[in-house]
Structure 1
């Protein structure tokens, strides 16, 4: 067996699968000459966002408050404060894509609210990754058998198998326009973007003695 001929191959698999998650960010902002007024408005607008997200469960799987910012705006010529700004950003993860468009429109219709997204993705433990790995191994075995057949031989054993990488595309951004507060909220349909998943392995197989000549 130690002196048996060896064939080395690379197996690859590529799939495009439906996304499992959609993420977007919603940012409530406020501005006023008075600091307390700014904070009060910011708290009210953030609370309004929370009410809409509460109503969207269980379509909303997760929400995380990110950056909270409050800062003064000063005159260029000095330190005199002319206004205060505030913002708070929440990252929202949605699993029910049928509710996604309506939720984003409702949020965008709130006063002084900014949206970005959605970004489509797979779960870290998605079955799509396992299926791609299995397909890459099957591809490696098929290639080894083809090479062996071309030599009049057959694959006899696996010597080594190495995972050279599993990758997926970076999150994809879909841009959409929204109505300003006070206008009629439009209907918004979002088309989930397929997620490319690619796996590759390198394998070495022993083969029976080739028939040459």
Structure 2
């Protein structure tokens, strides 16, 4: 979906504005080009920014590193470039001052802390999957590789046993781990799909017996331990 198509759809969605983040559900800055929502919608190719879309205009928030680049890449008749920290709360504060009452955003791409801070500004925050609006659905297969023990220092079984012990002590059945770097460390795995980081972008569900299920999109592995 294009920028103008999203603008036309705002009323149908019941919001005055929609916020598009650079990051995805792992909230990091290292993404695949096929996931670059900002580039897809307004042409900005930088690695830090946030886009606020209203019915009449879009606003691209970037810091000083990217202000000149942003002005060169976007259509300034359709997108206003704002030199301000591209944080979710800053963008919400701007929209509040602009008169917006209902704001849509992708809840998977915003941290709990950011959401709580924004709720102090807006009572009406609407969860809307960015993939449903942008149509970006990267199908790239990611090969999951095992990090040798000599580099990991401790086996994944040892790490999982420690979590299982904690779960049993707390009377819990499962632990859901959502930070990609932590999942990669826990299971001693890595991937080579990202340009600047070797992490496997996936969640891990660990049970009280020390078994883990790796949860992610288009993951491929020869390792027999995990189910996807």
TM bucket normalised to smaller: under 0.3
Structure number with higher helix proportion: 2
Please tell me whether Structure 1 or Structure 2 has the larger radius of gyration of its CA atoms: 1
TM-score when normalising by structure 1:
0.22
Structure number with higher strand proportion: 1
* Structure with larger RCO (C-alpha < 8 A, sep 6+): 1
TM-score when normalising by structure 2:
0.21
